[in-house]
Amino acid sequence: MRRIRVLFLGDVVGRQGLRALFIGLSGLIKDTRAQLIAVNGENLARGFGLTPEDKDCLFNMGVSVITSGNHIWQREEIYPVLDADPRLLRPENYPQGVFGHGSVVVEAEGVSVAFLNLQGRERMGIAVDCPFRAGAKLLSRLRKKTRCIIVDFHAEDVREKEALSFHLDGRVSAVLGTHTHVATTDERITSAGTAVITDLGMCGPMGSVIGTCPQLSIQRALTQLPIKIEVHDRPACLQGVIMEIEASTGRATVIERVFRVPEAV
């Protein structure tokens, strides 16, 4: 039975995360035997947003799909790119008329794989449409094209993430959490064949506060002032998962966490 191996990496944070990808991605692809690569890129531009140049850089490295989340809107120059390049996603459950696309179908090794980007509502501070309804509604269209469907659920609340994985269980190949930048150890495959992990972690600086400078985070906590945070200038790691999915059924057969510190960083 034909299978596709998909490498999905967590939020890329700043130049540090991009540099780690530049140095380590090719070796990671070789070691995991990945045939299709996706990353969440919404924190690449100094921790907030994504520029057109960042997008091109990721695609030039061999990334096939870039997902995002609430921070994608912080760089206005990316807005027209969201319309122009279907491989760059924003969450599907934003109101109608917003720039961009929430899903895409790509092909690798003769296998079609759909990617669906959703955003949570709990503790996110943004009033988006219901991700549960939006995701289920789009699935009927995507499943006409392929059974291999991977969901990036960009959300803060663990309960909301786990609930969505149950809601979509058996209807998608994977429900992968992003946004918190903290990798979880709850990776699993359900009896219905859906791979699940609460958060992929990040491709970002080690020894940081979710990618940012610890001292600035401490000062924000002590003073309660809106101190501008900055990406921590330290070597970065790569975090995510490698999955194997049956092409004909869309059932996941493998999900393994990935952690790599590129040697040259």
Residues involved in catalysis: 71
Round to whole Å and give the CA distance between 240 and 261. 12
Round to whole Å and give the CA distance between 23 and 121. 35
What dihedral angle (degrees, nearest 10) is formed by the CA atoms of 88, 92, 3, 238? Answer: 60
Q: Are 113 and 150 in contact (CB under 8 A)?
A: yes
Round to whole Å and give the CA distance between 205 and 142. 36
What is the separation, in whole angstroms, between the first and last Cα of the chain?
39
